[in-house]
Amino acid sequence: MTRALSADLRRRTIAAVASGMTRRAAAVRFGVSSSSVIRWVAEWQASGRDHALKQGGDRRSHRIEAWSAFLLAAIETKADISLVELAETLAAEHGVRFAPSTIWRCLDRHDMTVKKNGARQRADTARRRTAARGLV
């Protein structure tokens, strides 16, 4: 994603249009696209804002964060509950739906990650349980 153009450039362009220059002529003069100048001036006329809004960032986690206390309490009650079970519980009891991945990200933000036991997860072959013999 690209950065917004400088606020100074935007202000100078809007000032040129406000002083009587056409939008397209201001675009040529300042070296920006005419559609950008048209949008900037329209926004300035509608709201008075002459700077770009913040780009990117998290815009949705507040929905699941409202239920974080419920999720953490459910995990305290039943430690081995799955993400799918948590999602189903939220849907059944409260009527809100979240994907298991969304629930996992919320739990990860609250440091509730579960690590597998490395001793039980080692790769092994079923036919050779003894150590290899030395070279002959």
Write the CB contacts of 87 (distance below 8 Å, at least 6 apart in sequence). 97, 98, 99, 100, 103
What is the pTM for the complete model shown? 0.50
Residue 81 CA, chain-centre distance (Å), reads 25
Determine the average pLDDT of the residues in 7-18. 96
Q: Which residue is associated with the tokens 């003069």?
A: 29
Percentage above 90 pLDDT, the chain = 62
pLDDT at 59: 77
| pLDDT surpassing 80 at residue 130 | no
What distance in Å separates the CA atoms of residue 18 and residue 48, rounded to the nearest whole number? 12
| Residue 122 reports pLDDT greater than 70 | no
Report the chain's mean pLDDT, rounded to a whole number: 86
Domain range list for the chain: 7-47, 61-109
Q: Encode pLDDT of 26-56 as tens digits.
A: 999 999 999 999 999 999 999 999 999 888 8
| pLDDT(125) > 80 | no
Sign, CA dihedral 120-121-125-126, equals positive
Question: Which pLDDT value is given to residue 119?
Answer: 58
